[in-house]
């Protein structure tokens, strides 16, 4: 089931409170930090939690994706996860940088 596109919100529909909420969980924030350096195979994300069940990880990603923070596209057998950095920087200037710097 890594073949079809998942839904991503348009950047203008992304709300500040949803973004803040998605970033307010340590596990999700960790994923965002990992992806900040460049796109990552989903399998490579959350390397710090190797024992995390797949359904749990999938759900964490879903929250990040639906909040508009992350893009998640099919990539062969798996998926590629990337930060929607440019879009977020335009919508909420300085926010992502200050969070990632903290």
Partner DNA sequence: AGCTTGGTTCGAAAAGATTAGAACCTTCAC
Partner DNA sequence: GTGAAGGTTCTAATCTTTTCGAACCAAGCT
3 touches, from a copy of itself, DNA, none (C-beta below 5 to 8 Å by class): DNA
Contact string 49-68 vs DNA (x = CB under 7 A): ---xxxxxxxxxxxx-----
Q: How many residues bind DNA (CB under 7 A)?
A: 27
51 or 86: CB nearest DNA: 51
Gap between the Cα atoms of 71 and 6, Å rounded? 9
Q: Which of 73, 101, 87 is nearest to 4 (CA)?
A: 73
Gap between the Cα atoms of 12 and 84, Å rounded? 13
Rounded to a whole number of angstroms, the minimum distance from the CB of residue 16 to a copy of itself is: 5
Helical packing angle, 54-66 and 26-35, nearest 10°: 70
Strand order through the sheet with 40-41: 40-41, 78-83, 70-75
Contact set for DNA, span 7-26 (CB under 7 A): 21, 25
77 touches, from a copy of itself, DNA, none (C-beta below 5 to 8 Å by class): DNA
* Interaction site with DNA (CB under 7 A): 1-3, 6, 21, 25, 27, 41-43, 52-63, 72, 76-79
């Amino acid at each position: 089931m890594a073949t079809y596109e998942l839904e991503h919100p348009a950047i203008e529909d992304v709300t500040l409170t949803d973004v803040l909420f998605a970033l307010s969980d340590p596990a999700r924030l960790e994923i965002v930090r990992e992806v900040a350096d460049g796109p990552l195979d989903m399998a490579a994300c959350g390397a710090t939690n190797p024992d995390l069940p797949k359904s749990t990880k999938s759900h964490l990603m879903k929250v990040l994706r639906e909040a508009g923070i992350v893009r998640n596209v099919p990539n062969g057998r798996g998926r590629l996860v990337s930060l929607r950095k440019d879009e977020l920087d335009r919508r909420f200037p300085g926010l992502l940088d200050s969070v990632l710097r903290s």
